[in-house]
Amino acid sequence: MKTLAKVAFVSLLLIVFTTLPCISADKPDWKPKNGLENNMVVYGKVNIKGDIISDNKSIIAAFGPGGETDCRGIAKLKDQGAGYNYYLTIGSGKGNEEISFKVYDARNGKVRSVVETISFESDKNIADKILNAYWFFYYVSR
């Protein structure tokens, strides 16, 4: 009986983690805040359920502690010859803020939350950062 309960619990988690972070939407109207005096750069690829996005109409956005109303930077994915990458400049008025990400997947018109966050550090560059949407589903199903 305990095994059945564990299977039911894991199944429920899979449903929650694979449906809640994905919302059908029109292209979002994210606009970064102006007047932020500090910047950092993050670049890399976006992975959705094991599929690296290869579409130049998809957008990635960074958000501060205020969530979607606290946009800190946006970037389109661009073909760099060795695949599609984002190059995202993130702004902040102060350091050590937690930065979260969302991806607009233009292939299907859905906004997806990225589970990873980073801590803002002024003038820092983070290279080859793969941001994973639906990371829980992806790693459990491998």
Summarised one tens digit per residue, pLDDT across range 27-47 is 899 999 999 999 999 999 998
**Residues above pLDDT 70, as percent of the chain:** 76
Domain 2-140, CATH number (from 2.60.40.1120, 3.40.50.150, 1.20.140.10, 3.40.50.300): 2.60.40.1120
Q: How far apart are CA 89 and CA 119, in angstroms?
A: 14
pLDDT at 90: 97
Half-sphere exposure at residue 65, Cβ-oriented, CA atoms within 13 angstroms: 9
Q: How far apart are CA 26 and CA 85, in angstroms?
A: 22
DSSP state of 44: E
pLDDT at 77 over 60: yes
Please report, for the chain, the start and end positions of each structural domain, with discontinuous segments joined by +: 2-140
pLDDT at 23 over 80: no
Q: What is the pTM of this model?
A: 0.75
